[in-house]
Amino acid sequence: MTGPDDNMDQTPRQRLLMDPEWRFHLGDVVLDVPLSHRDTYMGVKCGLTQGVPDPEFDDSEWQLVDLPHDWVVGQRFDPCNNPDHGFLPTGIGWYRKTFSLPESDKDKRLWVEFDGVFRNSTVWLNGYLLGTHPSGYIGFRYDITDIANYGGENVIAVRVDATEFEGWWYEGGGIYRHVWLVKANPVHIAPWGTFVTATVPAPLDPQHSDVVVNTTLENDSDRDVSCELHSVVLDAEGKEVAAAESPVMILAGESRELNQEVTVANPQLWSVDRPYLYRALTTVQAEGRTIDSDETTFGIRTIKFDPQRGFFLNGKPLKLKGTCNHQDHAGVGTALPDRIHEYRIERLKEMGANAYRCAHNPPAPELLDACDRLGMLVMDENRYLSSSPNHLADLASMIRRDRNHPSIIMWSLGNEEMIQSTEAGARIATTMKRLIRKLDPTRPVTYAMHDDWGEGLSPVLDIQGCNYHSQDYDAYHEEHPEHPMVASETSATFGTRGIYQTDEAQGYFSAYDVNPAGFGDTAEAAWQAVAARPFVAGTFVWAGFDYRGEPDPYSWPCINSHFGIMDPCGFPKDNYYYYQSWWSEETVLHLFPHWNWPGREGEAIEVWWHSNCDSVELFLNGESLGRQQMPRNGHLEWQVEYAPGTLSAQGYTDNEVVVTTVVETTGAAAGIVLTPDRAVIKADGQDVAIVTVSIVDSKGRVVPTADSKVSFHVSENAKILGVGNGNPSSHEPDKASRRRAFNGLAQVIIQASRGAGDVTLTAESPGLLPATIIITTEHIHSNTPRPDEC
């Protein structure tokens, strides 16, 4: 028999957000394991497990949390803990969630998707083991069709064992990315089963683009099914620009893969300046009914790495100006709300960056979505250089999940593992590359090597990734003139925001660009080495943001890194303006340090400025101290005898003043100013306002040395998700309603509830004028409702 099952539901698939209202317990719980299973670890064997996974288990005393959730970031710092993990503890945690399924779901296929759990998670549904997933960096799913309770309640239990590390930086712990419930027809598009590719014969004058929609269909029913696959390409305005339909027969229990070729006339190309996005709407129809549908966002663009001239996007040369980044932010740890991913990409774009390296693991899907929307090129990096079955499965998941993102321009096999320089490393890389080519033949493969370029796996790579050692660029290029190169990791210079005298006891570095790590370069030297060499496709600076852990070369009391161009809150350090000067098209004139130096009157203060003007003139209290020519990709500095007042500078281009900047001696701290990143946010229980807290004097100027302790109060229709200040040696809790300012600034993250209205945030500090702001939350129709709303 052919045709759809009579009981097949006509409703297209649903992908429902399961983030709200989980119960959490910190620490392990001994399971009551049936006698027949006591020879297995944790009772992890097929069959029913009692105890925490049991639906009848009482979790009413457990903490109520929403996802994403990083339990580690809320713990206490302890000098006995691992410094690379930010002196925060590891451990084991349990999660449970109860949700209902209607009787009508019985004829569908259901699976639960976890975008990321750190790490080594074991999942049960209704007491039955679903499986174990070791990696904390790539998503996974479990089919729950057979063991779900239809017309009643279901309980999902997750044990998370974060006692072991995968990296050497802060990795958090918990269900730190989204969880989804997917409901689909037994005949459906496979998970990650649509792959859209586009070619442009003449990217400099695009008349048309040839688009191929590759779709994998699965038939999980007991009958052969004859259906039609429809694919429609929509432009950014939702207008149909191409379409295809194909008849297909899928045998019971089998899958089919189809290619559909269409032509898009006069395509709008995706670029860093104009990131134009198309959508492919794919539907499966049988007997005139739509039984499944899915939507894939993609872009039309061309990429090329030339061994002599570097990287080309859409036929035009483009120097990659990138940063390397871990997934960590003040107040939330690794559990970043979607908006914070976007916020961080926005800050990098404002600096002039056009590229992002996901160091050293696959990122959250929402970060890649933000890169697609905002025009940020991506090096998507795999966690391990390994050809073991588990690690190849993780690699395959990364490629399938991410291959439709136009922002991704290369796949990285991994980073700095000793086996990279050996024959075994070359064999492993060959196996990994073969798998990547099978799943995505459109992008080149690289690997971030810290030494032995040209040996081991180097010949396997499409692009030689070069970490540091800029003095060796020329030699490698001369020996391998046909091998494209990218500076996959550069700089690694230490600095602390607002600090201008290194203080080892406090764990602070001067913010002047004079503190490279022993293996690295200053920001200026690293960029000059790349900028001067067309054959080096670009750079990825270590790092875009400070992150917890890896406090080298310091240790306690310092609990986070110093490499960031920005601190963990996203507040710029002074090097930010060096990159902005030479990476962006904005006119930049940044003068530092601050001008509050009581007791140092008459002493020489080292004054720097970053600018892309032709020349800069410096003034102290209105008197000119002279004018200097700005060296390209450089900076200027001066020794200025300190006198309170006003330090100012004028930037000249073509002998005309084009920009002026002023640094003033401020008064004492007098008040607080609250500045949200947005005045209106979504009332969806997920969106956040990222609020900058500034300590100001009576004239409203930020006091650059202020460390006032600020308390926050928010109305009942929102919550404080976390706080931070960028101080690398602060041991204050991130999950709190108060925080000291660090050098005049702090940050508080406010998360909306699911009800529309005005959110009131008040900040107070003894002796300072308080501040209150209103953030409007708007009710929206969510495309990702919770299961209990469906």
Give the distance from CA 158 to its chain's centroid: 24
Residue 576's SS3 state is helix
The number of beta carbons lying within 10 Å of the beta carbon of residue 62 is 17
DSSP 562: S
Burial of 471 (0-12, 13-18, 19+ CB in 10 A): exposed
Characterize the bridge pairing of strands 709-714 and 757-764: antiparallel
* Catalytic-residue membership of 416: yes
Give residue for tokens 């050098």.
743
Output phi, psi for 166, to 5 deg.
Answer: -110, -20
Rounded to 10°, the helix 365-374/338-351 angle is 40
Whether residue 777 contacts residue 756, with contact meaning beta carbons closer than 8 Å, is answered with yes
Task: Give the angle 362-688-90 at the CA atoms, nearest 5°.
Answer: 50
Give residue for tokens 């940020």.
376
Whether residue 702 contacts residue 768, with contact meaning beta carbons closer than 8 Å, is answered with no
How far is Cα 149 from Cα 461, in angstroms, rounded to an integer? 49
DSSP-assigned letters across all residues of 713-724? EE-TTEEEEEEE
**Selected catalytic residue, list 171, 366, 489, 550:** 489
DSSP-assigned letters across all residues of 193-241? EEEEEEE-S-TTS--EEEEEEEEEEEE-SSS-EEEEEEEEEE-TTS-EE
Whether residue 355 contacts residue 319, with contact meaning beta carbons closer than 8 Å, is answered with no
Burial of 592 (0-12, 13-18, 19+ CB in 10 A): buried
How far is Cα 549 from Cα 328, in angstroms, rounded to an integer? 10
Q: How many CA atoms lie within 13 A of 354 on its CB side?
A: 18
**Selected catalytic residue, list 416, 606, 664, 764:** 416
Give residue for tokens 């009579």.
6
Give residue for tokens 């929609």.
213
At 657, list the tokens: 């003043």
Q: Which residues of 231-262 are buried (b: 16+ CB within 10 A; e: fewer)?
A: bbbbbeeeeebbebeeebebeeeeebeeebeb
How far is Cα 258 from Cα 690, in angstroms, rounded to an integer? 45
How far is Cα 668 from Cα 411, in angstroms, rounded to an integer? 51
Whether residue 122 contacts residue 42, with contact meaning beta carbons closer than 8 Å, is answered with yes
DSSP-assigned letters across all residues of 49-114? --STTSTT---TTSEEE-SS--SGGGS---TTS-GGGTT----EEEEEEEEEE-GGGGGSEEEEEE
How far is Cα 207 from Cα 465, in angstroms, rounded to an integer? 35
DSSP 138: S
Question: Which residues is 179 bridged to in the sheet?
Answer: 114
Q: What share of the chain is helix, strand, coil (3-state, %, to 5)?
A: 15, 40, 45
* Catalytic-residue membership of 228: no
Enzyme catalytic residues: 416, 489
